[in-house]
Chains A and B, each alone.
Chain A
């Protein structure tokens, strides 16, 4: 489970050696603990002309009590003053020794390729000041909300920028994201900005996240955003599933954990710690969908389809049962369960389906035709269901974990394991909690605007990106 290489190069003698030899030194990633502020350090906020997001973003930062800095730009200073932000000044012409923890740039107003220079102007003057485990967030306009070909071109171009910058700053443990905010969704960005700025998103980088129009969140307790939500997590007895369950519980949810009877003991132990309920059930069993619809007939807010298996074998050597068993657990099971829950009206208003896909489902992987098919199918479900669910006041999204340090990865041959860890911008594997934090963000009542997103939790792994 432990990444001995990262520990070594982050120790004093190991670090010296790594520097001498020129080995990569992945940063120790900061992670969230209950009670922590959204972000420790200063957030630099700026906008390209005509941007429409400065005001809502300033409001989010003010509410999150962020330390803010702006350029000495009178328009921006007036705006942040109105938002009640005691913002300091960062002048790229005289940066001095100022350090910045996050760079937030509203690029939504960029209307043509010439104006992309404002991206360079902003980040060029500030990126050297970005701290370890810093954050860079570019806000843009989705192509379908753009008015002209020129604007579509320029807005699509943002993705090349954020993905490249992520690769430049990843060694510092810093992450870079592009958030496309749909027209009318300006006030739905709070949960996303908070997640991306905070150490909760430690292992999420290089992502393009789309925020759609959604109901305006009211009276959110950001320390316990899932307060009062009932969540079902499949495959909850161990590893990532257990981390999901405990993170949802930490954020205030009442958790019901589900796993196969063979893991009943682990499941009960895990649920006991969270004051949660255990359901011993095989999701592929014919009566499973009805049983769950029955159990949650009084309403379920969040279902996390985490249960999954691998049955690796190259295709030529893969017997049919290795294909069908896996497909049943990873894809067909959740299709049947969701259908039953939806038919029974068991998902509450503003309910959420969050699926666990995989980087393999995006990039493909030798020996995993079955697995990658199932996980790509999960992405298909998200894309296919998003529209229908939105009409019913529900939302679906998925996470696609990359190399996550689990018992499963610990058993990999060392060469493959090391490649999995290092071939990413952050140069290390993620932890189960990184996947769990991402799911907890997607499950929040305030995250309805994220309907249809597939978020990679992969440290910007080079595969399939």
Chain B
């Protein structure tokens, strides 16, 4: 069985909105449909039967059973297109791309769409857990007397609903609190984080100015640009914000952490033959991927602390590089998801650190530094916002386009995810770098 090259043909997303604003009343279903339909329009996929559509959301309603299949049925793709849901926290979007790419590589399908959507505005609110159990018991009780007895267990407190929290189930700490611990462990300064955040905004603003996003975005509900983007952002302005994570000594602010956001994205992947038949230009090839997870719950051997929640990409990267026979310095573009500026900086410092690389990666020498001028050159999540499952699609599409513009070279993607997971991937320009 031969393995085929997987082409990235294009991507589309709706502008990302800040939580509880422009998309306050849009559901994941609505947004994912809009993102896919934008792609369908741009690449002429109306009525096409795709091999599959894989997408997901992190915050899902119970009613969103088979969210992706239902969204596909709302799009202008052929209803005969199969679809399934993926969920791997913030890795969802990139993992969906990996799944579709692998099927194309193996010849199981010829083309597919990968994507994701998330809303923190239209968040699911569940019945109070004890009320839910009571109602289920009521449903199971056949006689009226028994039912009446059960109703005496009703309490006013049971009215309070279950609201989803942005906290790790096993530690009770929020993502930001976890990242603040990492920032402390790696000695990441406030100034470094603010500088990275400012550059993210400046790069993304410049990319908008030169029209980079023109064929990557479909306006939605009145938004034409990412709502979080602040073109005039600067380290000096960001330095004025007060810390929100890590206590009074903390270095993490609302400015160098991603805000809760809403949005959706989709990417079209296909075999080269499928692309040729439809005369769709290949932007880039999706060549490698690796997923890893860390134990963020139990202390590491010989230390009092567990591995940092968002450090899994630091482990995934060398495994992928070794398989590809490449070094960390062998890339022209680096897309590291900016969940928090501190997460990016911890990851980079870990790859440069002889101790981390020896003790935790088992390598004689560090992976080394990267050229920061090649990092997130068209902006990152700090500027765009970060609707969890939509970020992978945003990054893959933008990197494919950037590689296409360059005409040569390699790019690498790194995305950290909740529950100690991380996904990394490699892409090559269709212009022929090998």
**Chain B residue with the shortest CB-CB distance to A65:** B302
A80 at the interface (CB under 8 A from B): yes
34-56 of chain A: CB within 8 A of chain B: none
62-95 of chain A: CB within 8 A of chain B: 65, 67, 71-72, 74, 77-78, 80-82, 84-91, 93-95
94-113 of chain A: CB within 8 A of chain B: 94-98
Asked whether, in the complex, the Cβ of A86 is within 8 Å of the Cβ of B359, the reply is: yes
Which residue from A67, A71, A91 sits with its C-beta under 8 Å from B189?
A91
Complex: A84 Cα to B359 Cα, angstroms? 8
Asked whether, in the complex, the Cβ of B354 is within 8 Å of the Cβ of A77, the reply is: yes
Q: A77-B353, A81-B359 are in contact. Are A93 and B187 (CB under 8 A)?
A: yes
B247 at the interface (CB under 8 A from A): yes
Which residue from B187, B190, B357 sits with its C-beta under 8 Å from A90?
B187
Give 1 or 0 for each of B168-195: 1 = CB within 8 Å of chain A CB.
0000000000001001111111110000
When distances are taken between beta carbons in the complex, the residues of chain B under 8 Å from A88 are 185, 303
B107 at the interface (CB under 8 A from A): no
Complex: A330 Cα to B246 Cα, angstroms? 59
B250 at the interface (CB under 8 A from A): yes
Which residue from B249, B349, B358, B359 sits with its C-beta under 8 Å from A72?
B349
Asked whether, in the complex, the Cβ of A89 is within 8 Å of the Cβ of B185, the reply is: yes
Asked whether, in the complex, the Cβ of A96 is within 8 Å of the Cβ of B251, the reply is: yes
Q: A72-B349, A96-B183 are in contact. Are A81 and B355 (CB under 8 A)?
A: yes
296-329 of chain A: CB within 8 A of chain B: none
Asked whether, in the complex, the Cβ of B250 is within 8 Å of the Cβ of A96, the reply is: yes
B211 at the interface (CB under 8 A from A): no
Tell me the minimal C-beta distance from B278 to chain A in angstroms.
51
Asked whether, in the complex, the Cβ of B354 is within 8 Å of the Cβ of A96, the reply is: no
Which residue from B251, B303, B355 sits with its C-beta under 8 Å from A77?
B355
Asked whether, in the complex, the Cβ of A89 is within 8 Å of the Cβ of B187, the reply is: yes
Tell me the minimal C-beta distance from B302 to chain A in angstroms.
6
When distances are taken between beta carbons in the complex, the residues of chain B under 8 Å from A84 are 358
Majority SS of interface residues in chain A? loop
When distances are taken between beta carbons in the complex, the residues of chain A under 8 Å from B186 are 72, 89, 91
When distances are taken between beta carbons in the complex, the residues of chain A under 8 Å from B355 are 77, 80-81, 85-87
Tell me the minimal C-beta distance from B194 to chain A in angstroms.
12
Asked whether, in the complex, the Cβ of B187 is within 8 Å of the Cβ of A78, the reply is: no
Which residue from A67, A82, A91 sits with its C-beta under 8 Å from B187?
A91
When distances are taken between beta carbons in the complex, the residues of chain B under 8 Å from A87 are 355
Tell me the minimal C-beta distance from A37 to chain B in angstroms.
11
Asked whether, in the complex, the Cβ of B183 is within 8 Å of the Cβ of A94, the reply is: yes
When distances are taken between beta carbons in the complex, the residues of chain A under 8 Å from B357 are 81
When distances are taken between beta carbons in the complex, the residues of chain B under 8 Å from A93 are 187, 189, 191
B325 at the interface (CB under 8 A from A): no
Complex: A67 Cα to B190 Cα, angstroms? 26
Which residue from B185, B191, B304, B352 sits with its C-beta under 8 Å from A67?
B304
Asked whether, in the complex, the Cβ of A96 is within 8 Å of the Cβ of B303, the reply is: no
Tell me the minimal C-beta distance from B231 to chain A in angstroms.
28
Complex: A72 Cα to B186 Cα, angstroms? 8
Tell me the minimal C-beta distance from A83 to chain B in angstroms.
10
When distances are taken between beta carbons in the complex, the residues of chain B under 8 Å from A81 are 354-355, 357-359
Give 1 or 0 for each of A233-277: 1 = CB within 8 Å of chain B CB.
000000000000000000000000000000000000000000000
Q: A65-B302, A96-B183, A96-B249 are in contact. Are A91 and B358 (CB under 8 A)?
A: no
**Chain B residue with the shortest CB-CB distance to A98:** B184
When distances are taken between beta carbons in the complex, the residues of chain A under 8 Å from B349 are 72, 89
254-309 of chain B: CB within 8 A of chain A: 302-304
Asked whether, in the complex, the Cβ of B184 is within 8 Å of the Cβ of A78, the reply is: no
Complex: A299 Cα to B128 Cα, angstroms? 80
Tell me the minimal C-beta distance from A432 to chain B in angstroms.
33
Q: A67-B304, A86-B303 are in contact. Are A94 and B184 (CB under 8 A)?
A: yes
Give 1 or 0 for each of B343-368: 1 = CB within 8 Å of chain A CB.
00000010011110111100000000
When distances are taken between beta carbons in the complex, the residues of chain B under 8 Å from A71 are 187
Asked whether, in the complex, the Cβ of B249 is within 8 Å of the Cβ of A86, the reply is: no
Complex: A34 Cα to B358 Cα, angstroms? 32
Tell me the minimal C-beta distance from B28 to chain A in angstroms.
37
Q: A86-B302, A89-B186 are in contact. Are A97 and B359 (CB under 8 A)?
A: no
When distances are taken between beta carbons in the complex, the residues of chain A under 8 Å from B303 are 67, 86, 88
Tell me the minimal C-beta distance from A148 to chain B in angstroms.
34
- Residue among B355, B357, B358 with max Cβ neighbours from chain A (10 Å): B355
**Chain B residue with the shortest CB-CB distance to A75:** B354
**Chain A residue with the shortest CB-CB distance to B302:** A86
Which residue from A82, A85, A86, A94 sits with its C-beta under 8 Å from B188?
A94
A74-B354, A88-B185 given; 17 more Cβ-contact pairs under 8 Å: A67-B303, A71-B187, A72-B186, A78-B354, A81-B357, A81-B358, A85-B355, A86-B303, A86-B355, A86-B359, A91-B186, A94-B184, A94-B187, A94-B188, A94-B251, A96-B180, A96-B251
* 7 sample A-B contacts, Cβ–Cβ < 8 Å, listed by A number: A65-B302, A86-B355, A87-B355, A93-B189, A94-B184, A96-B180, A98-B184
Q: Closest 3 A-B residue pairs measured CB to CB?
A: A91-B187, A96-B184, A81-B354
> Measuring CB to CB, which residues of chain A are less than 8 angstroms from any residue of chain B?
65, 67, 71-72, 74, 77-78, 80-82, 84-91, 93-98
